[in-house]
Amino acid sequence: MLRVALRGIGAHPVRFLLTMLAVALGIAFVAGTFALRTMLSSTFTDIVETSMLGDAYVRGADPAPGESVGGEATDARNQVPIGLADVVAGVDGVTAALPDLSGPVVLVGADGTAVQSTQAPSIALVLYPQTRGVDVIDGRLPNSAGEIALEHSSLDASGLEVGDATQIVLGGELLDVVIVGDVDAVAPTAGATLVYLDPATGRALFAPDGMVSTIAVYGEQGLSESALVDRVEPVVRDAAPAAAPAQAVTGDDARAESRAAIEAILGFILTFLLVFAGISLFVGAFIIANTFSMSVRQRTREFALLRAVGASPLQVLVSILLQAAVIGVIGAALGIAGGLALVEVLRRVLESMGMTLAGSIPLNGSTVALSLVVGTLVSLIAAFVPARRAALVPPVEAMRDETTAPERPLRLRAAIGAALGVLGVAGVLVAMWRPEADRAPQLLGYGAAGVVIGVLLLAPVIARASIGVLAAPFVAGIKPVGRLARGNVVRNPRRTASTAGALMIGMALVGAAAVIAASTTASTQAIVAREATTDYILSTPASGSIPADAVTAVRALPDVAAADAFYAGQVLVDGPDGDAGAQASVLLAGIDPATIGRSLQVEEVDGDLRATLEQGEVAVQRTTARDEGWEVGDRLTLTGGSGAQDLRIGAIIDSSAIPAPLVVPPDVFDALVPSVERTIPTVFVTATPGADLGELRDQLTQAVRPYVIVSVLDTEQFVAGLADQVNQVLVILYALLGLSIVIAVLGIVNTLALSVIERTREIGLLRAVGLGRLQLAGTVTIESILTAVFGTVVGLAVGVALASTMPTVFADDGLTDLAVPWASLLGMVLLAIVVGVLAAVWPGVRAARLPVLDAVSYE
């Protein structure tokens, strides 16, 4: 049977080549995803191993694990006094104890703009003479305020040189500095901009309260890490105050924890990419199943003859599955090579943007084995039903001239599809009816899956009913080609549905993504229009925080009535039950009470927000209060790097413009969040009555120009900037979904090519009675267009309908307004027509070139 299977592939190479290509594209995504993840893991592991060179680390002894109010897992620890470094330095066997001091910075390059590589951060670090893992290439280390050193790649990116004067934005201030050193970091930077400071400056900026997160401890040569920890641990335990207990851990343990945190993030990326790989393989399975179904129909006599000469049904089944296995293995092997090529291209693109990853593309045995197994299994599963059908062909079929199997009824398939569709719709409706329920998002997801699967099962019935409508313009305008094409498409609705199903899935996802993006933009615009009563908004996408000096400069302008800054920082919160084990990390906003009613209008569910802030109490977002069971009058304990506060809940609010679960006045915020840990994401600027807004904008632009990173936006531009961020994500989704659409196009090409082979005698007869070559090619082209448009329209309808329910379910998350991008959807339908034409080129040319006499006598 293996020989029979291989001969079957050799006799029809084109038929199976496209199927192999479909498998290869899907596996390329799988192999590339695992290779990319391994490369990223290797890169960041190298960063950890070469940047955390301490033999031991002193850190907070009190972990505060738990789940943040936003739902994100945390593992915060208390800070420790910086003075412990001096205590530890006196321990026998310790050569140096260096506090880790770092924070965000903005470096002004030679061209006067902020130096930034891709989305990598800009970080200021304290560089000690004893710091390991750095090498001064040129110049020296900074040793006083006003001096900095730059990591070598950051210096190249800035266009500056050692000895040049420039500026940095650090600690909210614009500082004039001189570059005194070019430093080569042993650790890879992955595109980050690194600015090195002297210890005194770093301590004043990043530890103004005398507290740091960790202290790196270096031991004498020959002293083991565990022995060093045994010496340091009792000293720091005794020297640390009760309010800030400390512990010592080995360098290996600290590095392992950092690697684990990175692996958790990379695991999310892996899952995200594998979802799209699964979509591509699912789409590819349609092509494989379609290919083998049509192959079985065309080779019915061959299988019947095999049965007649003694082959058992099992042997026929095995021969076809062997073909599928060969296609899966070869396709997976090609996919592995393609995946590695994709990762190499991505690596080179990232390098050109300043982000250097690991030097070689990893290929391990597990990735190869998994890719081969997945490719083979997908092919076998997709080919099983057609293979079983072929194995059950009675030998008497070999005695007939016509061996085409009769079309099976659609009643059972339609009933199952309708049942799943109804259940899916019911799940979606329940999620919309009870959006506040904890499992509403999951129910929406399950319902959406049921609707999609139900539509796929119902697709043959839908095709039979709708193709006639879609084909009406062709039937009326292009005679007799339009009628012939319609008949060919409707003749086998299963084949049409299977071919269009691949495109249907891709377009459903694309349509849903487009609606979500448009609705997100519309919701943001509605929120700003509803809540923001300001003239201009200061924003800083580059660093995420507006310098405090920039806010001061803006407030000093004569035409500015108010510049209301939003402060943000992380704190720990204990609920009313006072259970310390329930501590959770939460984002806290600090807002001046005068902002309410002046720059911002907020819906108050319970209590008065402005009065709450004036009285030094805390306000809680409605969704947070609902999820945690908090009410007005409850007391919360907020703990930050600067201390703790016991606060009464004075108001429950519902505001999407305030991106934080808890809101307090500035004095309370200052008492909780150290200056080095706080950010100013936005500032609302209100003009004085009668001021010229155009002139005010010029004043604002001039005032923030020295800070490089601050943008002056009106409300429309602010919304447009947020929309651009959504569109960037959308472009990534389109690119990932594009692979499934490419595979779907291959499916149309494959089906048309096999259809031409299947209808060779019919084509010969049509040519014999006068159908021209162009008319025949036009028939194939219209068939392709009808299939592509059918899959696109049905897919978009399903995707748009399901995405339209999300504003109801996720209204509490800020998705409040539904917007359907009709122009984009129409563009997708037009694109489907283009896809149909392109997919028909090769099959159409092949059909037109068939010799008439050979076609008529074809068996």
Residues in contact with 593: Cβ distance below 8 Å, sequence separation at least 6, in sequence order:
610, 613, 614, 665
Beta-bridged to residue 682, according to DSSP, are: 539, 566
* pLDDT above 80: residue 703: yes
Could you state, in order of their start, the residue ranges of all structural domains in the chain?
56-251, 469-532+716-859, 536-713
If you average pLDDT over residues 237-259, what whole number do you get? 86
Residue 818 CA to residue 799 CA, distance in Å, equals 14
DSSP code, position 732: H
Q: Give the pLDDT band (50/70/90) at residue 855.
A: low
The predicted pLDDT at position 593 comes to 93
Question: Residue 112 phi/psi, 5° resolution?
Answer: 85, 5
Q: Provide the sign of the torsion angle of the four alpha carbons 410, 412, 416, 419, taken in this order.
A: positive
More confident call, 64 vs 806:
806
What pTM was estimated for this model as a whole? 0.72
> Where would I find the H helices in 570-621?
609-614
Query: Nearest Cα to 684, choosing from 596, 544, 562?
Result: 562
If you average pLDDT over residues 25-51, what whole number do you get? 76
* pLDDT above 80: residue 446: yes
Q: Are 128 and 197 within 8 A, CB to CB? A: no
Ordered DSSP codes for 538-558:
EE-TTTS---HHHHHHHHTST
The predicted pLDDT at position 542 comes to 52
Please give the mean pLDDT across all residues of the chain.
82
* pLDDT above 50: residue 579: no
The predicted pLDDT at position 679 comes to 86
Cβ-count burial of 118 within 10 angstroms (0-12 exposed, 13-18 middle, 19+ buried)? exposed
If you average pLDDT over residues 780-809, what whole number do you get? 91
CA distance to 148, 178, 237, 643, 764, per residue, from 209 (Å): 23, 27, 20, 11, 89
Q: Give the pLDDT band (50/70/90) at residue 211.
A: confident
* pLDDT above 50: residue 129: yes
The predicted pLDDT at position 582 comes to 46
The predicted pLDDT at position 580 comes to 40
The predicted pLDDT at position 166 comes to 92
